[in-house]
Amino acid sequence: MVRKWAFNAVFAYLLFGVLMYAYLFYLADASVPHSLKGTSVDPSTFMNHRELMLSEEYSKIKNLLFFLSSPYEWLFYFLVLIFGVSRTFEKWAEKTSRFHIIRSAVYLFWLSLASFIVTFPLSYLSHSVSKAYHISTQNFHSWMKDELIDFWVNFALMFIVVTVLYALMKKFKKRWWLAAWILSIPFTIFMMFLQPVVIDPLYNDFYPLKDKQLETKILEMAAKADIPAKHVYEVNMSEKTNSLNAYVTGIGSNSRIVLWDTTLEKLSDKEILFIMAHEMGHYVEKHIYFGIAGYLLLSLVGLWITAKWMEKCMARKNELKVKGISNLSSLPLFFLLTSILLFAASPLTNWVSRYEETRADRYAMEMTHDSASAVKTFQDLTRTGLSEVDPPWLVKIFRYGHPTMRERIERADSSK
């Protein structure tokens, strides 16, 4: 039975991979409509022939890797369950101590290490592709350092979550999901405070914007928008990538507006001001707070569905090599189900994100009154990131938290 389940799971994954390859490389059309040829939306008007070719190749490969990664994770967790690997890790943990907190740490370490090793080839392939197409500038040593930081940061956070979660499962047999959700509220808010000042600096160096004239212009815009900003932060991303980006992170006194140094190097002041106005639009329209509220709502629904799903799976607990929901060996099942739910919910969360990004774009154009710079910014972002202007439908709904460049450029053009 176990071999049959394993064979079917691997076959299903390989079949899915073949179908996605056929869709992305042969069936999907990412070219702009003929009616838009020669307009500002047409990538051939702002990218040369080599850039167009590389963009098409790179986008297809990265999209395929994206669609292969989540099911690969599901396959890993499923095989860990049915082959009894999770139960073996639990036995190792039980031998180390009688204390639940130490058992959780030992079990989670072995599961995290196994996950890291199994998913490493896919992660390295993604990095290699980005390096080959000159999106990533990061050498292997630097990339591996980030991977190890990721491992230990995720381990530390998951140790807290798993220890509390399984303590709740033992205490509240039927309502553990509700107790877990209630405790997740202060934890989520705490992490929003912690992220910009503790976690992000582990990966990169942040410092106040060096160009003080540009910072003055940005702060003047912030003052007009009633944003209590005192600094704009710059981060040294050029050591790792050629891509451009800027973002807002954190809440309250820990909130930050951050510019990548690649953005400062490759865009004009007008384009940078448009990007900053866009980020200010997120702040003014309180998208961070709506995002937290939406995340907590989805978490409530997701935990409830996961709890019900896990109960049904316990009907086959012998095949899954799990004694019960509150046993640590059920953790891969929890991860499997929550990962599937997150993937299934991504079209909805991406749609909400695209709506908020559209609002921020509109706010930026109203603030700057510079649609020409908006168009140029979107074109430069497309070229430097080797992005698709009009991606295939499945790619858009599952990958895009921003509107497509076609949509953004068309809106900017129409506001002139």
Q: Is 361 a catalytic residue?
A: yes
Q: Name the active-site residue from 279, 356, 388, 410.
A: 279
Residue 163: CB atoms within 10 Å: 17
Residue 31 burial (10 A CB sphere; 0-12, 13-18, 19+)? middle
**Residue pointed to by tokens 């079209």:** 347
């979107």: which residue's tokens? 378
3-state secondary structure of 208: strand
Angle at 138 between CA 134 and CA 140, to 5 degrees: 120
Which amino acid is located at 115 in the chain? S
∠ CA(199), CA(346), CA(317), 5° rounding? Answer: 90
Report the Cα 30 to chain-centroid distance in Å. 23
Provide the CA 158 distance to its chain's centre, in angstroms.
Answer: 17
- Give the gyration radius of the chain's Cα atoms: 23
282 annotated ligand-binding residue: yes
Using an 8 Å Cβ cutoff, are 356 and 282 in contact? yes
Strands (E), 39-87: none
CA 383/CA 21 separation, integer angstroms: 24
Q: Taking Cα atoms as reference points, which of 122, 117, 114 lies closest to residue 84?
A: 114
Strands 256-260 and 233-235: parallel
Dihedral-angle region of residue 257 (phi above 0 means left; psi in -120 to 50 means alpha; beta otherwise): beta
Q: Which of 361, 370, 388, 407 is catalytic?
A: 361
Q: Is 357 flagged in the annotation as binding? A: yes
* CA gap 215, 219 in Å, rounded: 6
Note the helical H segments in 173-286: 176-194, 212-224, 261-266, 269-284
Cα(58)–Cα(64) distance, rounded to whole angstroms?
A: 10
Write b or e for each residue in 80-113: b if 16 or more Cβ atoms lie within 10 A of its Cβ, otherwise e: bbbebbbbebbeebeeeeeeeeebbbbbbebbbe
Q: CA distances (Å), 188 to each of 20, 170, 194, 262, 292, in order?
A: 34, 23, 10, 30, 8
Binding residues: 278, 282, 357
Q: Which residues are catalytic?
A: 279, 361
| Annotated binding residues for Zn(2+) | 278, 282, 357
